[in-house]
């Protein structure tokens, strides 16, 4: 129950903007496998997550388009990860390639101990724009504490994403 309260509090404090002609908010929902390459199989779990992007905060640079990203996921083992960071966006016609880096807070719950409350998620995501303002995607991510914790087993996740602009 404490984890649900963390998630609700976190989501309520995110910067949801009012929709106007000049503003656009993207919300993504995703689900997948937590600790995909777990050799023993005892730490694998299903994960469910949500992400938020405010499209008004995009910045075009010589390295591409960058935007802040905020989100979190919870697993069926009661693990929780809340994060915020930066995402690059490279549009290739109907496909979008989105690498991101998001530091965040991790609590193991009944799931895998990653060695630290501070963890870093690196992700590569590919989206397909199927309708106006609607995307489906696939993401592969790695969560690790960069050897700053007591241990650093790291995990790899795979997920399917549904995104919608509002």
Domain residues for 156?
A: 2-14+26-165
Asked, for residue 129, whether it belongs to a domain, the answer is yes
> What pLDDT score does 19 carry?
38
CA distance 121 to 102: 5
pLDDT, tens digit (0-9, with 9 covering 90-100), for 59-107: 898 888 999 999 999 999 999 999 999 999 999 999 999 999 999 999 9
Is the model's pLDDT at 29 over the cut of 60?
Answer: yes
CATH number of domain containing 130: 2.40.160.20
pTM: 0.83
Q: What's the start-to-end Cα distance of the chain, in Å?
A: 30
Q: How many CB atoms lie within 10 A of CB 119?
A: 24
């Amino acid at each position: 129950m404490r984890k649900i309260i963390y998630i609700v509090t976190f989501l309520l404090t995110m910067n949801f903007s009012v929709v106007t002609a000049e503003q656009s908010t993207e919300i993504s929902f995703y689900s997948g496998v937590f600790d995909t390459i777990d050799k023993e199989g005892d730490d694998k779990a299903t994960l469910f997550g949500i992400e938020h992007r405010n499209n008004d905060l995009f910045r075009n640079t010589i390295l591409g388009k960058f935007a802040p990203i905020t989100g979190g996921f919870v697993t069926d083992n009661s693990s929780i990860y809340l994060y915020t960071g930066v995402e690059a966006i490279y549009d290739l016609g109907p496909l979008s390639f989105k690498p991101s880096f998001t530091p965040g807070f991790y609590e193991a719950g009944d799931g895998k101990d990653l060695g630290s409350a501070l963890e870093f998620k690196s992700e590569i995501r590919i989206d397909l724009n199927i309708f106006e303002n609607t995307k489906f995607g696939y993401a592969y991510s790695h969560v690790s504490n960069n050897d700053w914790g007591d241990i650093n087993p790291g995990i790899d996740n795979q997920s399917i994403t549904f995104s919608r602009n509002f």
